């Protein structure tokens, strides 16, 4: 099968090579140095755009300065984010100041989100950094782990106290029965 390519100019905006059978092409977009690959015959919305700054746009011409901008859904088998900040293991250091649950409750009542976590407005306006967000989520998981450890210690202590109270209550009950028996003997 012989493929037919056509080289042409669309107005002043686009010089391209177009595959005549599939309406796909490659060319420079809108008097710019951005190279586009598209599947429509007008070339206005390239599938992939390569900017002079070596940025790539998929489904968009405007990469907003990012190396990769995707306008649409994406799926990956693996995404690796290189963390440049501190990982959340500092939560387990002796000098870490864990808020009390009362302080957390007050913060949530006042601000309607967890301390240290961006608000929904901040995420909507600025997006979120996956590496930072993962670290913040791990921080919260580690804090929850510390709260659970403290709660488990309190539960164990209360169980021991409860067992001691049961033992003492039984002893008091036994003593009361002995007193009642002695009273009966003294009355006879």
Global pTM exceeds 0.85? no
pLDDT at 74: 87
Q: What gap in Å lies between CA 130 and CA 85, rounded to an integer?
A: 12
Which pLDDT band, with edges at 50, 70 and 90, does 188 fall under? confident
Q: What is the pLDDT of residues 31-84, one digit of tens each?
A: 667 777 766 655 556 688 888 888 988 888 888 899 999 988 888 888 888 877
pLDDT at 98: 96
Q: What is the pLDDT of residues 85-144, one digit of tens each?
A: 788 889 999 999 999 999 999 999 999 999 999 999 999 999 988 888 999 999 999 999
Closest Cα to residue 104, out of 132, 133, 134, 146?
146
């Amino acid at each position: 099968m012989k493929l037919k390519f056509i080289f042409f100019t669309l107005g002043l905006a686009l010089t391209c090579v177009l595959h005549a059978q599939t309406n796909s092409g490659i060319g420079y977009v809108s008097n710019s140095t951005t190279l586009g690959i598209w599947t429509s015959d007008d070339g206005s919305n390239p599938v992939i755009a390569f900017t002079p700054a070596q940025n790539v746009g998929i489904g968009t011409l405007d990469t907003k300065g990012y190396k990769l901008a995707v306008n649409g859904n994406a799926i990956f088998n693996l995404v690796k984010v290189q963390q440049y900040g501190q990982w959340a293991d500092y939560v387990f250091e002796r000098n870490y100041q864990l808020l009390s649950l009362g302080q957390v409750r007050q913060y949530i009542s006042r601000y309607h989100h967890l301390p240290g976590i961006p608000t929904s407005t901040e995420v909507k306006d600025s997006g979120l950094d996956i590496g930072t967000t993962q670290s913040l989520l791990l921080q919260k998981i580690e804090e929850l782990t510390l709260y659970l450890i403290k709660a488990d210690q309190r539960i164990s202590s209360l169980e021991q106290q409860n067992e001691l109270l049961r033992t003492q209550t039984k002893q008091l009950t036994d003593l009361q029965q002995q007193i009642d028996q002695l009273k009966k003997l003294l009355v006879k």
